[in-house]
Amino acid sequence: MELLYGTWHWSISGFLIGITMLMLIYFGKTFGMSSNLRTLCTILGAKRKSNYFNFDWREQKWNLAVVFGAVLGGYFATHFLNGSHILELNPRTLQQLQQLNIDFPNGKIVPDAIFSIDAMLSVKGFLILLLGGFLIGFGTPYAGGCTSGHAITGLSNLQLPSLIAVIGFFIGGLIASYFLIPLFF
């Protein structure tokens, strides 16, 4: 049971994510989580503001169903498959976190320094969360996809544009990790 409750091995996890993508292809769809942001904007009434949102969101109902399932999956795994030996980070990572004053995992999946209710209710913490979300929401349609659409589906289909996009993801991620995180914390 430790196999199920502990951290799932990267090879099993990666394989299952690949299978998720292949199942969606078999169902006649394409794996892409960021498209849901556009669908949600359309449902919320963005249709009147731009042609970009002027499409029949019902065509994307299947993708919202995937999202709904993902929320349920997150709930189920957290409440019924949670073990104690989770998030064993590299000791060097822990050392860096300590220097940044970011709390250690100790069984948590995300740090309180960024995600606790107290952090969220502070002006700085709120703006960090909002800024991160904004960049994700603006960047993914601009780049035509995110980790699922480009890094997994696009690269699996040997698409050069996806490789360019993934290189962009990493440039951005490295800048954030080496410059912005130390700046913010």
Partner 1 sequence: MKLLRFVLVGFIFGIVLTKSEAISWYRIYEMFQFQSFHMYGIIFTAIVTGVVGIRFFKKKEIKDYKGLPIEILDKERARFRYIVGGIMFGLGWGIVGCCPGPIFVLLGAGVASIGVVLLGALIGNFIYGVLKDKIPH
Residues 97-136 that bind partner 1 (CB under 8 A): 97, 105, 109-111, 114-117, 119-120, 126, 128-136
152 near partner 1, judged by CB under 8 A: yes
Q: How far is the CB of 56 from partner 1 (least distance, A)?
A: 16
Nearer to partner 1, 57 or 119 (CB): 119
- Rounded distance, CA 22 to CA 30, Å? 9
Q: Which of residues 24-43 bind partner 1 (CB under 8 A)?
A: 24-30, 33-34, 36-38, 40-41
Residue type, 20: T
3-state secondary structure of 33: coil
CB 70 within 8 A of CB 80: no
C-alpha span between 134 and 138 (Å, rounded): 6
Q: Is 60 in the site for partner 1 (CB under 8 A)?
A: no
Q: To the nearest whole angstrom, how small is the minimum distance from the Cβ of residue 129 to partner 1?
A: 4
Question: Under the criterion CB under 8 A, does residue 70 sit at the interface with partner 1?
Answer: yes
Identify the residue whose tokens are 């050069």. Answer: 160
Distance between CA atoms of 176 and 131, rounded to whole angstroms? 12
CB of 185 to partner 1, least distance (A): 11
Site membership for partner 1, residue 57 (CB under 8 A): no
SS3 185: coil
The answer to the question of residue 182 lying near partner 1 (CB under 8 A) is no
